[in-house]
């Protein structure tokens, strides 16, 4: 299923995501040489409707059309078939960012075998850092997601944004898989198709290529806004929902995605429902914490405790394929290596 190349396909730099199927038959790993041999891994289009990573890579590589890259780079182009349709994934496919080493649900799939091979090859090549570039469908700032609070990872994140979300990780995601191997993170570039977001992602990739090593000094707490993801909010498959649809089981506020990255007080309403508990909320250990976070009295779905949501979206298909949102809290900056290990669950 995986194609491995040692050079860019002809016309790659000028081909949009929807047309990549004309050049690539499926997920493709492209190894490019550079002055420093330890490669930077950059992934794009793990979700086919999130193309800022591809546009950024094309922009960066055009700038090096007749000169050597400052560091070797391996490019993973993910779900070409879904990109052709402008979708996150096709209905018969697994999520490409849930099939990496560590997955249980998709352990026997061809996609898992392909991404396991990418992981093996990058480990053999001594990967320098792993970056997974995404977009989202709601109103969100540019931010990074990290699975550890190691200083190298935080320095890498700050090259993209001062807004950093620490999440212990999703089994089978690229960043979770690579976090034990090298500094690894996910960058969220806002909505796709926005030139300033694409340009920012391109500048970040170029900065990573020029990074000779990670700084020895610690990140300063005043340079970072650090959040911790504490829960994931999903809607059960049997529950209908809409945004301004009074006939659905859940009628969400049609401006729900404006709440992203805002500190919400207890009592903040998300929508209305006559169901007792229409949401499914899980913490990082997959424990049901629905009643800890939400109440549904008098037909109103409201927060029980202060939370900051991220990735709230009005795209119903994305909600079904992924989630409604993540709930976060601000956390104090870890001032020592032992504190970082404690926060990261290593002790």
Q: How far is CA 103 from the centre of its chain?
A: 16
pLDDT tens-digit map of 20-58: 999 999 999 999 999 999 999 999 999 999 999 999 999
Return the structure tokens found at 228: 């911790």
**Stated length of the chain:** 347
d(CA 146, CA 262): 20
Q: Is 281 within 8 Å of 271 (Cβ atoms)?
A: no
> Which residues lie below 8 Å from residue 173, measured CB to CB, with a gap of 6+?
97, 98, 100, 102, 132, 186
pLDDT given for residue 170 in this prediction: 84
Domain annotation for the chain: domains and CATH numbers: 3-223 (3.40.630.10), 229-330 (no CATH)
User: For residue 311, what are the CA distances in angstroms to 254, 261, 262?
Assistant: 15, 9, 11
pLDDT tens string, the chain, 347 residues long: the values are 999 999 999 999 999 999 999 999 999 999 999 999 999 999 999 999 999 999 999 999 999 999 999 999 999 999 999 999 999 999 999 999 999 999 999 999 999 999 999 999 999 999 999 999 999 988 999 999 999 999 999 999 999 999 999 998 788 999 999 999 999 999 999 999 999 999 999 999 999 999 999 999 999 989 999 999 999 999 999 999 999 999 999 999 999 999 999 999 999 999 999 998 899 999 999 999 999 999 998 899 999 999 999 999 999 999 999 999 999 999 887 654 444 554 444 43
């Amino acid at each position: 299923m995986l194609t491995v190349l040692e050079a860019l396909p002809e016309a790659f730099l000028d081909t949009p995501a929807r047309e990549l199927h004309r050049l690539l038959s499926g997920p493709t790993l492209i190894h490019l040489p550079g002055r420093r041999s330890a490669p930077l891994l950059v992934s794009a289009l793990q979700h086919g409707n999130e193309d800022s990573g591809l546009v950024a890579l094309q922009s960066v590589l055009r700038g090096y059309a007749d000169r050597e890259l400052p560091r070797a780079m391996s490019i993973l182009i993910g779900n070409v078939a879904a990109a052709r349709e402008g979708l996150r994934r096709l209905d018969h496919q697994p999520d490409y960012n849930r099939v990496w080493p560590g997955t249980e649900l998709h352990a026997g799939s061809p996609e898992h075998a392909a991404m396991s091979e990418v992981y093996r090859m990058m480990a053999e090549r001594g990967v320098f850092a792993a970056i997974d570039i995404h977009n989202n469908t709601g109103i969100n700032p540019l931010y990074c997601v990290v699975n550890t609070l190691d200083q190298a990872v935080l320095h890498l994140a700050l090259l993209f944004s001062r807004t950093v979300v620490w999440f212990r990780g999703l089994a089978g995601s690229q960043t979770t898989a690579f976090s034990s191997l090298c500094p690894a993170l996910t960058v969220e570039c806002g909505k796709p198709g926005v030139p300033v977001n694409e340009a920012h992602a391109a500048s970040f990739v170029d900065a990573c290529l020029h990074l000779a090593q990670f700084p020895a000094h610690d990140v300063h707490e005043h340079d970072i806004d650090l959040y911790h993801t504490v829960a994931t909010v999903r809607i059960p498959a049997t529950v209908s929902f809409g945004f301004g649809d009074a006939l659905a089981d859940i009628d969400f506020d049609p401006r729900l995605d404006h709440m992203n990255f805002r500190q919400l007080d207890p009592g903040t309403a998300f929508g209305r429902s006559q169901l007792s508990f229409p949401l499914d909320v899980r913490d990082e250990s997959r424990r049901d914490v629905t009643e800890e976070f939400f109440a549904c009295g008098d037909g109103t779905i409201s927060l029980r405790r202060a939370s900051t949501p991220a990735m709230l979206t009005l795209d119903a298909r994305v909600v079904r394929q992924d989630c409604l949102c993540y709930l976060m809290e601000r956390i104090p900056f870890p001032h020592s290596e032992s504190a970082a290990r404690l926060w990261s669950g290593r002790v």
